[in-house]
Amino acid sequence: MTDQDRTITQDELHAYVDGELPGERLAAIEAWLAAHPEDAALVATWRNQAELIRARFGAISNEALPERLSLTRLAQSRRRSVAVIATAAVLAAFVVGGIVGWMARGAEAATRSDLDLFTADAIEAYRLYAVEVRHPVEVPGDQRPHLVEWLSKRLGLQLRAPDLDKIGLKLVGGRLLPGPTGPSAFFMYEGPSGERFTLYCGRTADRETALRYTAGDQNGAYYWVDQNLAYVLSGPAEREKLYTIAQAAYDQIDTRTPPRGG
Amino acid sequence: MSEFRGRIEAAIPALRRYARALTRDTETADDIVQDTLVRALRSEHLFQGGDVRAWLYTILTNLNRNRLRTLSRRPSISPIKDGDASTSGPESGGRDIGRALDELAEDQRSALLLVVLEGLTYREVAEIQGVPIGTIMSRLARARMQIKAYLDGERPALRRVK
């Protein structure tokens, strides 16, 4: 180890190969590689891998685009549904009428049984449908009035839903699902990068509860009960993000002054 | 055409390249690119400036991750690969780079391709994958180590979590 500076780390070797190394370290790296043939061989191997990858796939970007990837065409087929999306953004008032006031509910203990069942079903439904590319919902978000009316009828309660547009979440649509207490409503929202969140709700006899968080390996959920409806908001296990969504739903729908500190 | 759409359009060939390398199937890749474009157009009004290209890579990466999760729950459906290994000449002693990529965990494959094939910076890739830069570097390191082992002829390693 005759290096003037300090030991070169593997991370620096990768950064060197990828052109990410700060200029002032270049000389040190090159001196190191000259003195350490094993590391030099590693660098050569990685560069060779990159060459193989570029040789193999690089030319794809020169291929003529298929018609279905024409942006003009995709935009035209979209224009028809744009009116619908605008409507959805305005209409957005559905599922979470009952959400009002949950934020500051006392920690009165409800029977956990229904909630546990709801949460399990809701997360399962999230896992099942959030990954669907082509058929995530039964009724798309562009038929919002119909969707809400239909699900309300099936649940026997007037449903409402938050408009999550302001935090970048669009309504994808909804489904009717079997639930622990009968039919359940399932609404899916989607963010600009394709990340999805779902709101699952069904009737419950449980008492109202405060917001509770539960998480598995990859998915998390906030659940609560309000006015005979149990709600479960599910998504990737990012607690802050899920909370933000719940908060947004609450702020938007709330027409009462939220009790603070209670 | 708006500037926004112009920037999307300019990115399509690169998106196809990335998607093809990720999925190794032309139809699947174009499906995902198409879906990426539809989502981008749909979210046009939500886009708050910034790098359109990185945003498109983010959508595509998420879509592919979703697709793989679906496939993993349906073992009877397996992705159809390009006929590469059987039709193109063997590289590196019968094991080729395409197959080596197939052996990688999805996040490693995606990180390596974004850096090496798409020329994105570590910082951009970290934002696309939603993890710290250090995680990107360890994904790259593992990917490169595993590709080397594969091309050197070792048994394909199980996806190791170190």
CA distance B33 to chain A (A): 8
pLDDT > 70? residue A91: no
CATH number for the domain including B148?
1.10.10.10
Strand A196-203 and strand A229-236: the pairing is antiparallel
| Alpha-carbon span B38 to A141, nearest angstrom | 15
Q: Inspect the interface and report whether the beta carbons of A11 and B12 lie closer than 8 Å.
A: no
Q: Which residues of A touch B112 (CB under 8 A)?
A: 53
A25 occurs within a structural domain:
yes
Do residues A157 and A231 both lie within one domain?
yes
Do residues A36 and A117 both lie within one domain?
no
Q: Inspect the interface and report whether the beta carbons of A131 and B70 lie closer than 8 Å.
A: yes
Do residues A124 and A57 both lie within one domain?
no
A224 occurs within a structural domain:
yes
Do residues A30 and A128 both lie within one domain?
no
Pick B135 or A223 by higher pLDDT. Answer: B135
Last residue of a domain, one of B64, B82, B100: B82
CA distance B159 to chain A (A): 18
Percentage with pLDDT > 90 across chain A:
26
H or E stretch at A226: strand A219-226
Do residues B73 and B53 both lie within one domain?
yes
pLDDT given at position B86: 39
Selection from A229-238, B80-89, B133-142 with the highest mean pLDDT = B133-142
Between the alpha carbon of residue A212 and those of residues A118, A130, A218, A234, A254, the distances in Å are 13, 22, 17, 12, 19
pLDDT > 90? residue B107: yes
Do residues B135 and B103 both lie within one domain?
yes
Last residue of a domain, one of B48, B82, B116: B82
Residue A68 tokens, joined: 């279905």
Do residues A183 and A229 both lie within one domain?
yes
CATH number for the domain including B66?
1.10.1740.10
Do residues A45 and A127 both lie within one domain?
no
Number of separate domains in chain A: 2
End-to-end CA distance of chain A: 65
Nearest CA in chain B to A194: B59
Nearest to B5 among A10, A11, A71 (CB): A71
Do residues A104 and A169 both lie within one domain?
yes
A76 occurs within a structural domain:
no
Do residues B111 and B65 both lie within one domain?
no
Nearest to A192 among B30, B47, B140 (CB): B47
| Alpha-carbon span A82 to A80, nearest angstrom | 6
Do residues B56 and B75 both lie within one domain?
yes
Q: Which of B145, B60, B142, B24 is nearest to A57 (CA)?
A: B24
pLDDT given at position A121: 84
| Alpha-carbon span A168 to A120, nearest angstrom | 27
Q: Inspect the interface and report whether the beta carbons of A56 and B97 lie closer than 8 Å.
A: yes
Residue B90 tokens, joined: 């063997």
Do residues A133 and A51 both lie within one domain?
no
Q: Are A229 and A151 in contact (CB under 8 A)?
A: no
Q: Are A65 and B13 in contact (CB under 8 A)?
A: yes
| Alpha-carbon span A231 to A210, nearest angstrom | 11
Q: Which residues of B touch A15 (CB under 8 A)?
A: 122, 137
Residue B78 has a CB neighbour count (10 Å cut-off) of 8
**0.90 surpassed by pTM:** no
Nearest CA in chain A to B26: A60
Taking a contact as any Cβ pair under 8 Å apart, which residues of chain B between 94 and 133 contact chain A? 96-98, 101, 112-113, 115-117, 121-122
Tell me the pLDDT tens digit for each residue of A139-158.
998 888 899 889 988 888 88
Do residues B50 and B100 both lie within one domain?
no
Q: Which residues of A touch B141 (CB under 8 A)?
A: 10-11, 14
Do residues B70 and B104 both lie within one domain?
no
Do residues B5 and B77 both lie within one domain?
yes
Do residues B13 and B66 both lie within one domain?
yes
Last residue of a domain, one of A19, A43, A61: A61
Q: Which domain holds residue B35?
A: 1-82
pLDDT given at position B110: 97
Token pair 């197959």 is found at B99
pLDDT > 70? residue B111: yes
Do residues A113 and A159 both lie within one domain?
yes
End-to-end CA distance of chain B: 48
Q: Inspect the interface and report whether the beta carbons of B92 and A52 lie closer than 8 Å.
A: yes
Last residue of a domain, one of B60, B82, B104: B82
Do residues A160 and A49 both lie within one domain?
no
A141 occurs within a structural domain:
yes
Q: Which residues of B touch A192 (CB under 8 A)?
A: 39, 43, 46-47, 55, 59
Do residues A118 and A178 both lie within one domain?
yes
Nearest to A193 among B58, B116, B121 (CB): B58
Do residues A178 and A235 both lie within one domain?
yes
Do residues B70 and B111 both lie within one domain?
no
A contact test, residue of B2, B25, B41, B71 with most A CBs within 10 A: B41
pLDDT given at position A112: 47
Question: Sorting pLDDT into bands at 50, 70 and 90, what band is B137?
Answer: very high
| Alpha-carbon span A226 to A258, nearest angstrom | 14
DSSP string, B122-158: HHHHHHHHTS-HHHHHHHHHHHHHHHHHHHTTPPPPP
Q: Which domain holds residue A21?
A: 10-61
| Alpha-carbon span A141 to A84, nearest angstrom | 8
Q: CB distance from A11 to chain B under 8 Å?
A: yes
Q: Which residues of B touch A61 (CB under 8 A)?
A: 13-14, 16-17
Do residues B139 and B63 both lie within one domain?
no
Q: CB distance from B154 to chain A under 8 Å?
A: no
Do residues B35 and B62 both lie within one domain?
yes
Tell me the pLDDT tens digit for each residue of B21-66.
999 999 899 999 999 998 888 887 777 677 889 989 999 999 998 8
Between the alpha carbon of residue B76 and those of residues B22, B64, B82, the distances in Å are 21, 18, 19
| Alpha-carbon span A136 to A172, nearest angstrom | 8
Residue A202 tokens, joined: 């069904």
Tell me the pLDDT tens digit for each residue of A94-136.
333 333 333 333 333 334 456 777 888 888 888 888 888 778 8
Residue A173 tokens, joined: 């649509």
Q: Which of A71, A220, A199 is nearest to B41 (CA)?
A: A71
Q: Inspect the interface and report whether the beta carbons of A74 and B38 lie closer than 8 Å.
A: yes
Q: Inspect the interface and report whether the beta carbons of B141 and A74 lie closer than 8 Å.
A: no
Do residues B43 and B100 both lie within one domain?
no
Number of separate domains in chain B: 2
CATH number for the domain including A239?
3.30.200.100
